[in-house]
Amino acid sequence: MNRVDNDEGVTPHPVTGLDDVVHQRVRLGILTIAHEARRVEFGYLRSQLALTAGNLSQHLGVLETAGLVEVEKGYEGKRGRTWVTLTEAGDAALAAEIGRLKLLIARVETTGTTDET
Amino acid sequence: MTSDAVPAGGDARRLLGEVRGLARRVRIAQRVTWLPLLVLAVVTFVAIPVTRVSRPITRDCQPVAGGGETCKVFDPGVDIYWLVAMVVAYIVITRGYVAVARDRGVGVRVLPYAISGVAATVVVFGLIAVGAGGWIVRDPQDLLHPPTSVQVLFRLLTPLGAIGVALLVLAWLERNVALLLFALGYLAVVLVPINFGWDTYWGGGWSEAPPLIISGSVLALGALGFAGAQRLRRAR
């Protein structure tokens, strides 16, 4: 989390609160799908996010290391399947990210300017 | 979706739009709306011969001033059928939902629907068993010719009404506007006394058949409609 404290008492810009791990588009997509589906299979994630298996594995690795998802490997019959579940921390991180994005949009609409980082 | 990072301030709206789109696609993948409608249609149709064969027990009859009498009527065969059939139906629906969703690669939240469906049925039969009609309408004369509002309430407190209430829960769980509209339409059919005059002509133990045929047909048509819509969506 790259939050910046502001000593001058000015409300920090929502951008300063964005979490790099969560804010990345693919990872935000993984978290969103896992949140909505409660439990999601690797193949579904790959098809919905249009990723290669290797690319998706890398992103899942980042999220798993950050404690935002749990990855469970198993078999259904002879077919190997990998299931991804959102952790409580992942759920909270997703909610915080969505909240910041909404705040950012509201701020842009209020000031009438587009912010770029 | 690519693996590029998005400028934090510049494209928040697009990112949120993508998030909402993904969530919507998951919700669609989780839906097996035709399944509960089909299972409940079957349960409703099977209730027709059960109702015909079962023998109601009448007791505590009291004459009403101005002619007629009011009685407590129990139909153990029908009551047991509905209770068992609904529990089995909701187990089948839950297992079906979980199996289909797993096959599609997603989890599903269907248990609250099954619980509310069984709970609504148990509440309905609990109220019937304790003779709740006598609590709602105190004057026996009114019970003989209840006002429209009471008739609507009595129709809601039936297994067919319980099916409609549980479908509203499923529509909420699935965030499914089409199912919400269907459930409201179904409830309207249950609550409005439509019988096409069958009530008069059938008689002889078949008087309960028209509402069951109508409700079962609405459910079966709904199952067909939702299955067709799902097939079309998948073909696209």
The pLDDT confidence band at residue B87, using thresholds 50, 70 and 90, is very high
A76 pLDDT band (50/70/90 cuts)? confident
User: Which has more confidence, B224 or B15?
Assistant: B224
Interfacial residues of B (vs A; Cβ cutoff 8 Å): 1-10, 12-13, 15-16, 18-19, 22-23, 25-27, 29-30, 102, 104-109
Nearest Cα residue to B94 out of B77, B118, B73, B78:
B118
Contact call for residues B1 and A49 (beta carbons, < 8 A): yes
Q: What is the pLDDT of residue B204?
A: 60
The reply to whether B232 falls in a domain is no
H or E stretch at A80: strand A79-86
CB contact under 8 A, A115 and B10: yes
Edge-first strand listing for the sheet containing A39-41: A39-41, A79-86, A69-76
Is the pLDDT assigned to residue B81 strictly greater than 90?
A: yes
Q: Which residues of B touch A48 (CB under 8 A)?
A: 22, 25-26
What span, in angstroms and rounded, lies between the C-alpha atoms of A55 and B168? 41
More confident residue, B9 or A21: A21
pLDDT tens for residues A8-34?
555 665 556 667 788 888 999 999 999
- Please give the residue range of the domain that contains residue B97: 32-219
Q: Nearest CA of chain A to the CA of B62: how many Å? A: 56
Burial B76-90 (b: 16+ CB within 10 A, else e): eebbebbbebbeebb
How high is the pLDDT of residue B6?
45
Q: Among A100-104, A112-116, B144-148, B182-186, where is mean pLDDT lowest?
A: A112-116
Question: According to the model, what pLDDT value does residue B227 have?
Answer: 95
Contacts of B10 in chain A (CB under 8 A): 114-117
**Contact call for B3 and A24, based on CB within 8 A:** yes
CA distance A76 to chain B (A): 10
- Average pLDDT value for chain B: 84
Q: What is the pLDDT of residues B19-70, one digit of tens each?
A: 999 999 999 999 999 999 999 999 999 999 998 888 877 777 777 776 777 7
The shortest C-alpha distance from A20 to chain B (Å) reads 9
Residue A1 clears pLDDT 50, i.e. is over it: no
**Residue A34: its pLDDT value, please?**
95
Measure CB to CB from residue B107 to each of A23, A24, A37 and give the nearest one: A37
Residues from chain B that touch A102, judged by Cβ atoms under 8 A, are 12, 16
**A13-41 burial, b for 16+ CB within 10 Å, e for fewer?**
bbbebbbebbbbbbbbbbbbbbbbbebbb
- Looking at per-residue confidence, does B189 or B195 come out higher? B189
Q: Is residue B15 part of a domain?
A: no
**For residues B43 and B198, which has the higher predicted lDDT (pLDDT)?**
B43
Q: Which residues of B touch A18 (CB under 8 A)?
A: 8
Distance from CA of B211 to the nearest CA of A (A): 38
Domain-by-domain residue ranges, chain A?
Answer: 19-103
Confidence tier at A117 by pLDDT (50, 70, 90): very low
Name which of B1, B23, B106 is nearest A25 (Cβ-Cβ). B1
> What residue in B sits closest to A45 (Cα-Cα)?
B105
pLDDT at A84: 95
Which of chain A's residues have a Cβ under 8 Å away from the Cβ of B16? 98, 101-102, 105
> Does residue B155 belong to any structural domain of this protein?
yes
Residue tagged 């479908």 (tokens)? B167
Look up residue B223 and give its two tokens. 């199952």
A30 contacts on B by Cβ (under 8 Å)? none
B194 assigned to some structural domain: yes
Residue B69 maps to a domain: yes
The CATH class that applies to domain A19-103 reads mainly alpha
Could you tell me whether strands A79-86 and A39-41 are parallel, antiparallel, or unpaired per DSSP bridges? Answer: antiparallel
Structural domains of chain B, count: 1
Residue B79 lies in a domain: yes
Tell me whether residue B225 is in a domain: no
